[in-house]
């Protein structure tokens, strides 16, 4: 890429959460294969981010490529209104068979945020359809992240999600404190009492509890005890709320189970998946629900229609690649891969604990997090990481990695060494 193109990028193109007035540097990537990103300069970087949880099988995967080529030569897209096609039907069959038993109906969405919008609509339409229109608020836990569209934002952590910027526009929902109990700590019944109290007091106005099971991702990279999720499920049953599990980050093996809900042996009433669904090839997400919720909505006002229908709904190309990605998952290698990554992250990141600049080190599944005492200078840190041959994108006080499942031990060590070095002497 020419320097003038880089200047154009800085001047005219927003990147995620950036300012055009004081833009951060961007690195031109020319190609990607396996765990490597190749910069325009020819430098190769080991990818620690899986392009935000998505590229679980690595870039430029031969099987995914073959399916994408075949589908593009057949039909890249067709509207989903009044039309159906094999890639969508195949994908939905697989999603229903992979997810917990009661989930039986699928809405194909075009991104994670939209899958959350649809989940919220399902919950609200469900309550209206059974004559409980007053149950029209959501309850959630702080430090969550559910996406960037308005309904999704309204259930993100109010501080991290900058709710005050949108006062008067964002719907007001109910927030419980974030769970404090870590996965390996001993459960105390008091760990659920704040959520229990809020739900018992406000259930007459609550349609659903929405949360990220076990792993809170972009809202803080926090891990919590599976018993919290089991108790949350019980509270939803007791007080007649739906449980919405947002597995957009955790779905498809990242936490060591296919879905994070499995750590608690629970099933949600509504499940959102996205990110890794297409193995990181293109944008696609899905919202699944039970036959009961689907039928209740179906008997409700407005002819029982679920009120959503994006232009690119069920895009055949994305559905075909998603099926191919699920085929790779079905072979099962991810289980050993995730376990090995997890063990190596635990072993190699623990050295960071000795640094005075580090507040916490935590690993869950194939996710490694080092929380610094102070906010990280992203541009400076990234420059150091690129020089070390790795791609790691910090945010806030957090250095975190969730590499492609196919990463080799030596490649993973490059990532952990770069993090350790940063921790000892932050730039």
Ligand X SMILES: *Cc1c(COP(=O)(O)O)cnc(C)c1O
- Do the beta carbons of residue 107 and residue 118 sit within 8 Å? yes
Sites for ligand X among residues 267-306 (CB under 6 A): 274-275
| Total interface residues for ligand X by CB under 6 A | 15
Given the rule CB under 6 A, which of 144-152, 173-181, 226-234, 406-414 is the region that contacts ligand X? 144-152
Distances in Å between the alpha carbon of 87 and those of 99, 189, 300? Answer: 18, 46, 30
Give start and end residues of each alpha helix (H) in 263-366: 291-298, 316-330, 333-349
Q: Around Cβ 302, how many Cβ atoms within 10 Å?
A: 11
Residue whose CB is less far from ligand X, 135 or 146: 146
275 is catalytic: yes
Angle between helices 316-330 and 62-74 (to 10 degrees): 150
What count of residues does the chain have? 427
Tokens encoding 175: 């927030």
Angle CA 308–125–289, to nearest 5: 75
Tell which one of 44, 55, 99, 113 touches ligand X (CB under 6 A). 113
- Token digits of residue 367: 């996710």
Which range touches ligand X (CB under 6 A), out of 108-116, 159-167, 222-230, 412-420? 108-116
- The answer to the question of residue 217 lying near ligand X (CB under 6 A) is yes
Contact between 117 and ligand X by CB under 6 A: the answer reads no
Tokens, residue 115: 């899958």
Is residue 73 annotated as a catalytic residue, yes or no?
no
Residue 48 known to bind ligand: no
The reply to whether 55 sits near ligand X by the rule CB under 6 A is no
Active site residue 145: yes
Q: Quick check: helix, strand or coil at residue 7?
A: helix
DSSP 261: G
Q: Is 246 in the site for ligand X (CB under 6 A)?
A: yes
Closest residue to ligand X: CB criterion: 112
Bridge-based pairing of strands 44-47 and 36-39 is: antiparallel
Active-site hit among 246, 257, 405, 422: 246
Residue 246 appears among annotated catalytic residues? yes
Stretch that binds ligand X, among 58-66, 110-118, 258-266, 316-324 (CB under 6 A): 110-118
Residue with smaller CB distance to ligand X, 110 or 191: 110
Q: Which residues are annotated as a binding site for substrate?
A: 52, 145, 275, 309, 393
Catalytic center residues = 17, 145, 246, 275
Instruction: List residues binding ligand X (CB under 6 A).
Output: 111-113, 116, 145-147, 212, 217-218, 246, 248-249, 274-275
């Amino acid at each position: 890429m020419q320097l003038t193109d880089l200047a154009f990028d800085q001047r005219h193109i927003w990147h995620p959460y950036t300012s055009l007035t004081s833009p951060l540097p961007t690195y031109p990537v020319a190609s990607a294969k396996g765990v490597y990103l190749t910069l325009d300069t020819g430098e190769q970087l080991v990818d620690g981010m899986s392009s935000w949880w998505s590229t679980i099988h690595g870039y430029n995967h031969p099987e995914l490529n073959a399916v994408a080529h075949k589908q593009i030569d057949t039909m890249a897209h067709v509207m989903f209104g009044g039309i159906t096609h094999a890639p969508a039907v195949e994908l939905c069959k697989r999603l229903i068979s992979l997810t917990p038993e009661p989930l039986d109906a699928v809405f194909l969405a075009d991104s994670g945020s939209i899958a959350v919008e649809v989940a919220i609509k399902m919950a609200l339409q469900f309550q209206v359809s059974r004559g409980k229109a007053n149950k029209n608020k959501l309850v959630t836990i702080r430090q969550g992240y559910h996406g960037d569209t308005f309904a999704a934002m309204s259930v993100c952590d109010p501080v991290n999600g900058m709710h005050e910027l949108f006062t008067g526009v964002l719907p007001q929902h109910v927030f419980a404190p974030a769970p404090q109990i870590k996965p390996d700590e001993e459960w105390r019944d008091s760990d659920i009492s704040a959520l229990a109290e809020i739900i018992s007091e406000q259930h007459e106005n609550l349609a659903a509890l929405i949360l990220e099971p076990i792993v809170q991702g972009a809202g803080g990279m926090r891990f919590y005890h599976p018993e919290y999720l089991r108790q949350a499920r019980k509270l939803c049953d007791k007080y007649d709320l739906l449980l919405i599990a947002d597995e957009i980050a955790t779905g498809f093996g990242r936490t060591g189970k296919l879905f994070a809900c499995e750590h608690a042996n629970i099933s949600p009433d509504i499940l959102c998946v996205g990110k890794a669904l297409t193995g990181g090839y293109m944008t696609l997400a899905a919202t699944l629900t039970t036959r009961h919720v689907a039928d209740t909505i179906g008997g409700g006002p407005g002819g029982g229609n679920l009120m959503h229908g994006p232009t690119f709904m069920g895009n055949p190309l994305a559905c075909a690649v998603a099926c191919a990605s699920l085929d790779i998952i079905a072979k099962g290698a991810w289980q050993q891969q995730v376990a090995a990554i997890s063990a190596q992250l635990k072993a190699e990141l623990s050295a960071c604990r000795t640094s005075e600049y580090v507040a916490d080190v935590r690993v869950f599944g194939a996710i490694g997090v080092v929380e610094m005492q102070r906010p990280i200078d992203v541009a400076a840190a990234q420059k150091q990481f690129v020089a070390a041959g790795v791609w790691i994108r910090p945010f806030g006080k957090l250095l975190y990695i969730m590499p492609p499942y196919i990463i080799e031990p030596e490649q993973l060590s490059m990532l952990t060494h770069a993090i350790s070095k940063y921790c000892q002497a932050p730039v």
